[in-house]
Amino acid sequence: MIKVLIYEDNPQLREGLTMLINGSDGFEVLSSFKNCNNVVEEVEAFKPDVILMDIDMPGVNGLEGLKLVREIDTTVKILMLTVFDDNKNVFQAISSGANGYILKKTPPGKLLDYITEAQSGGAPMTSSIATQVLKMFSSMNNEKGEDYNLSDREKQVLQLLVDGYSYKMIAGEMYIAIDTVRSHIKKIYEKLHVNSKSEAVAKAFKDRIV
């Protein structure tokens, strides 16, 4: 059972999302809120697996809420659910530790797939946003920065993450156990000072580590 918290200021959409998720096998909405004013207390109290978080909300908005959650919890999966697909919001969300970024017009069935993907360690993005992210990073002209003391093996794992490989696929590609993959990725996160796959990929592009 994937336990979900929803942050959305539109009451109709909030109710619609709740009904969709609760009406689907394997999902449960623990609660929903119109802003992130008390997000730290709520996340600590409900302990969700996945958070659906709107960006544009009155009071404490989604980007601010995302940062607050990441200060107290680096493991909960946070999907930004928004009408915005501009570069500034996308990059800020990814840099702040979002696990995915999807548009509100996403079809219901696909939204459930995205929630499942995030829960299993993926970094779902609506295709139009993924395209923007690739363009954004390709336009960056940063010189190759420091390699953060990554070993050759860790760089290989990071490159496969950038290429979109899952943990299982990386294990198969490198002929190592999935626990070894997790160990490498934990060390990569520590060295890059990041908390999620999306942050690691963003930093790899930004600093041209691989």
pLDDT per residue over 133-179, tens digit each?
777 666 655 445 566 889 999 999 999 998 889 999 999 999 999 99
Q: Which domain holds residue 113?
A: 2-137
Tell me the CA distances in angstroms from 183 to 2, 28, 203, one per residue in order: 25, 31, 19
One domain, residues 120 and 161: no
Q: Which of 137, 167, 193 is the last residue of a domain?
A: 137
Interatomic CA distance for residues 1 and 26, integer angstroms: 4
145 in a structural domain:
no
User: In the sheet that 100-103 helps form, which strands lie side by side, from edge to edge?
Assistant: 27-33, 2-7, 50-53, 77-82, 100-103
- The CATH code of the domain that includes 15 is 3.40.50.2300
Return the percent helix, strand and coil in the chain, to nearest 5: 50, 15, 35
One domain, residues 133 and 195: no
- The CATH code of the domain that includes 181 is 1.10.10.10
111 in a structural domain:
yes
One domain, residues 114 and 24: yes
Q: What is the pLDDT of residues 21-79, one digit of tens each?
A: 999 999 999 999 999 999 999 999 999 999 999 999 999 999 999 999 999 999 999 99
One domain, residues 158 and 130: no
One domain, residues 106 and 160: no
